[in-house]
């Protein structure tokens, strides 16, 4: 299965989540490409069986500055038929915990993308065994979901 992981991380929390996801997907024999989310070639997303988008939430529930252009560029892209998993980090101190994850998921759905039903939201970094397991279960769940859908590269 061909997987693209696009993410942004300021304090390495979202990057730490990405690493857990990547490592777990590699054990499932996935071919993985990792990119900074603001440099992901949006017109080439259909080349992947699965696309994972990861972001931290800035301030009171905003997208990070470095994602604003990419988020707007999604308005010009048809994501129909592309499978997505969305993940991110946040801080429960703020009222809109991990809202960037919700914003990305909503935008992808609005553009026709098929988003895995579970969104992965981790406070700060996956430091505990429980949080690492939650990330690994998300990776397996999204992998199995795509495999069940029968994408061409997954066979």
Q: What is the pLDDT of residues 71-110, one digit of tens each?
A: 999 999 999 999 999 999 999 998 899 999 999 999 999 9
Tell me how far apart the alpha carbons of residues 85 and 31 are, in angstroms, rounded to a whole number: 16
The reported pLDDT for the residue numbered 76 is 97
| 3-class state of residue 141 by DSSP | helix
Are 82 and 146 in contact by the 8 Å Cβ rule? The answer is no
User: Which regions in the chain score pLDDT beneath 70?
Assistant: 151-155
CATH code at 101? 3.40.50.360
Report how many domains make up the chain.
1
List beta partners, residue 54. Answer: 7, 87
Q: What's the pLDDT at 150?
A: 83
- CA dist., res. 140 & res. 144, Å (int): 6
Q: Three-state SS for 28?
A: coil
């Amino acid at each position: 299965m061909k997987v693209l992981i696009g993410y942004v991380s300021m304090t390495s929390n979202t990057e730490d989540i990405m690493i857990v996801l990547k490592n777990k997907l590699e054990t499932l024999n996935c071919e993985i490409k990792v990119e900074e989310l603001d440099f992901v070639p949006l017109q080439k997303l259909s080349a992947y069986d699965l696309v994972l988008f990861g972001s931290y939430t800035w301030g009171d529930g905003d997208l990070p500055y470095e994602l604003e252009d990419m988020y707007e560029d999604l308005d010009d892209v048809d994501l129909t038929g592309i499978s997505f998993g969305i993940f991110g980090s946040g801080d429960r101190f703020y009222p809109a915990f991990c809202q960037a994850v919700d914003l990305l998921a909503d935008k992808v759905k609005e553009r026709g993308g098929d988003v895995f039903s579970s969104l992965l939201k981790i406070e700060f970094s996956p430091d505990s065994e429980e949080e690492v397991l939650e990330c690994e279960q998300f990776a397996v769940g999204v992998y199995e979901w795509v495999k069940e859908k029968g994408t061409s590269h997954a066979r």
